[in-house]
Structure 1
Amino acid sequence: MYPLIHQTPLITSETTNRIVGKKVYFKMENQQKTGAFKIRGALNKMMQLPENLRRQGVITASAGNHAQGVAYAAKRSNIKATIYMPKHTPINKINATKAYGAEVVLTGVNFDEAYKASLVEQKSTGKIYIHPFDDYDVMAGQGTIALEFLNEVKDLDTIIVPVGGGGLISGIAVAAKSINPTIKVIGVQSSYASPIFRAFHNIQQTKSNVGTTIAEGIAVQNPGQKTLPIIEKFVDDIVTVSDSEIAGSILYMLERNKTLVEGAGAAAIAALFSYSQQIRSKHCGIIVSGGNIDLQQMTSIQNLAQNHYVQTG
């Protein structure tokens, strides 16, 4: 996939290390092309398609970052892409997707409704579906993050990963444990959208367990059929964080590390602070998965963060 994607930088922070009592490495996928890790999986999937299937065009559904990844990969491959997105997707993500040349269809109040609508068109048109997470080629593309991470930090013992449908953590867990079987992989979901947390811990599923969250990029209603068995086999734990904890982490990264992170991208950071005592690690990796935040959210993020601002003094 190189040079069509960046090998994203790692950053460290002595302040963060002091607060949590461990050496922390941030993998900055918010600095990836299209502003998020999703380009990796989308591009890897696209590159597997033979020419006759490319001519049919591709279709997908996304809350934003996967949309941009598919649109970018399709543009570079001269493939027509159609993207279904929820109506309430941040406008910056919609505009960015259109800018790459994709056709955008806004429908539904969440990812799952947009996904169902996209399947209807896929069946009627025969376009190739590029699933945002429940596809082995997509998972493998996301797993390249772990390869880069462990190549740079040989003694990494833990990786904390944001989780929506599970494609990112599946790829990372398989790749990381193929290199170091003893490494711990911990997933993080929003407490307002936690189907994989519930499945992992055998908590009864309910239809009301997905609500509105500032981490809209990981607000998925159901675990992937392909990702969940991988998670159950290779992932060590799944935890949840609140919107106020996520908001506090967004402000922390902005003020201390001078970098802008979206809600989903801050989930793993929030878990680092909230569970630092429980996470037994000396060298801990954090996946900062994306930076495509709607700046109009910043006032509400500041209000949410009041009770969970990370004190650095």
Structure 2
Amino acid sequence: MDPIRIAVVGVGKIARDQHLPAIAGNKAFSLAATVSPHDAGVEGVSHHKSLDELIENGPAVDAVALCTPPQVRYDLAVQALNKGMHVFLEKPPGATLSECVALSSRAEKVGTTLFAAWHSRFAAGVAPARAWLAERRIESVKIVWREDVRVWHPGQAWIWEPGGLGVFDPGINALSILTHILPRPVFLKTATLEIPANRAAPIAADIQFRDTAGAPIHMDLDWRQTGPQSWDIVVETDAGTLKLSNGGAVLTLPTGAEHSEDLEYPGLYARFANLIRGGRSDVDIAPLRLVADAFLRGNRQTVDAFHD
């Protein structure tokens, strides 16, 4: 079977650190091209300044991985879908819920694969955590997702703009795990968003969710963490405590801890290849829906200006 010829659109840190190595390590794909107006691309691989240029003058491409900021992703995705390309959407899959719904409808109409890729769901501890929780009564959940924005997003102005999500850019990773491992749906009760005086998106958030059985879920997000970073989910159940730490890589059950190799992006591309081969799409917007609810219902508090 011939490999899927894929182009990476948006060659920034996430593309170089995760997407390109994952594509290189998966025989189902071959890197046909890169697209970026700012980056020189990969040596020996066809490079283009825009998707228009790739379509007009570049090599044949079966699929694209969109690694651009979410605010510009919709038009690129529609353009690719209309050309019969399969589309991999980095998280979050769009700047709005309506964009995601429209893209899903377009992919179904043209008969191509659309994949909303939640990489944290492929962290080593997530699948076994989901299986263990399926047979337990959930009593409460606590999420602490605290990191230093200067380390993880230096100089990235887009992330502070409308649609950039602010602290929910990493926080949505926790929500992608939460909505995947809990056996019941989750919805928002209250939220407080702390927004710097010179920015449009929050730098911190304190959120109360609950599931449909009434279990309380507390989420603590903060981009001002220095020193050790915190990416932890603790679930109290009738059979003891489950903890996912290090972004889901480490699972601790009452019987002990398990730590496996990080295979998030290789797992994503294996999933994408399977979807393409099976003629299916996977566009789960539950994590983004919870973020939208926080912006819809959250109480906004202005805090000190933030400067890189």
Larger radius of gyration between Structure 1 and Structure 2: 2
Q: Structure 1-normalised TM-score?
A: 0.34
Q: Structure 2-normalised TM-score?
A: 0.34
Kindly indicate which of the two structures has a greater share of residues assigned to strand.
Answer: 2
Kindly indicate which of the two structures has a greater share of residues assigned to helix.
Answer: 1
